[in-house]
Amino acid sequence: MVRKTKEDTEQTYTALLDAAERVFKDKGVAAATLNDIAGAAGMTRGAIYWHFKDKAELVHAMCERATLPMEAVFNEVTAVAGDDPLGSIRRLTVHALTQVAQSPQQQTVFDILFHKCEKTGEMAPMFEREQQSRNECHSEIETMFRQAVKLGQLPADTDTAMAMQALHAFMIGLMHEWLLDPGAYDLAAHAEPLVDTLLAGLRIAPPRSKSARGKVTAGATASAPARTRREKIAA
């Protein structure tokens, strides 16, 4: 029996992920079988089980490979975000959009996740892992928003949790829609102004904390009788 070298194992692993991207893009995750992927890679189904327990683990590995460059930049930026947290958030988001716009592999994988990966029972473990990773990322982003408030880059009453959610929805929505029609506009060229528009809105009119909203409502209610009196005098 021929012993596989480490290089052979890595090549097989890469070939299977490449085949998975092609098959999932064509058929969707739910409709694709492990036999389909093995055939596309020119291998047997056993080769898949040598590396992956099931389809969910294969999809997770495919996602990890595609997002590794983003994660590297994320770790690098969050480690030194203290002096300019809002600038760090800008750098992260612009980089993420630019990466998707310029990387065919990331476009394929994100397109699969957004449009061709049903939340079926067999995929539940993968989505649970993705949710855990997303929660960790959200926690880091919210920490940077809190630091931005502390440094005066955002208003003192900013609801940092909702600011993080707004940023997340903006990024996911932008990628989701652009991947439906990449020819609509040059995402890489427009990444900076798009992100700057969102951040400008957060600086001027961010989501407010609950206590701040209560004060605004109370102030508006209190001022209403005064306006009424002025209207009576004018009449």
| H or E segment to which residue 38 belongs | helix 34-41
What residues contact 118, with CB distance under 8 A and at least 6 apart? 28, 29, 30
The C-alpha atoms of residue 77 and residue 131 are separated, in whole angstroms, by 22
Quick one: CA dihedral 97, 102, 103, 107, positive or negative? positive
Task: Name the nearest CA neighbour of 51 among 66, 40, 36, 62.
Answer: 62
| CB atoms inside a 10 Å sphere around CB 211 | 9
Q: Give the pLDDT confidence score for residue 37 in this predicted structure.
A: 96
The C-alpha atoms of residue 54 and residue 206 are separated, in whole angstroms, by 44
pTM for this model (two decimals): 0.80
Q: Domain boundaries in the chain? A: 1-52, 55-210
171 and 97 Cβ atoms separated by less than 8 Å: yes
pLDDT digits (tens, 9 = 90+) for 160-196: 999 999 999 999 999 999 999 999 999 999 999 999 9
Residue 62: exposure state from Cβ atoms within 10 A (0-12, 13-18, ≥19): buried
* The pair of three-digit structure tokens given for residue 166, joined into one six-digit string: 């707004």
Task: Name the nearest CA neighbour of 164 among 149, 144, 150.
Answer: 144
Could you tell me the CATH superfamily of domain 55-210? Answer: Tetracycline Repressor, domain 2 (1.10.357.10)
Task: Name the nearest CA neighbour of 174 among 193, 194, 192, 189.
Answer: 194
Question: Which fold, 1-52?
Answer: Arc Repressor Mutant, subunit A (1.10.10)
The C-alpha atoms of residue 116 and residue 111 are separated, in whole angstroms, by 7
**Average pLDDT, 10 consecutive residues per value, the chain (235 residues):** 70 95 95 95 93 93 89 79 89 94 94 88 83 88 95 96 96 96 97 97 94 49 39 39
Q: Give the pLDDT confidence score for residue 220 in this predicted structure.
A: 39
Q: Give the pLDDT confidence score for residue 213 in this predicted structure.
A: 53
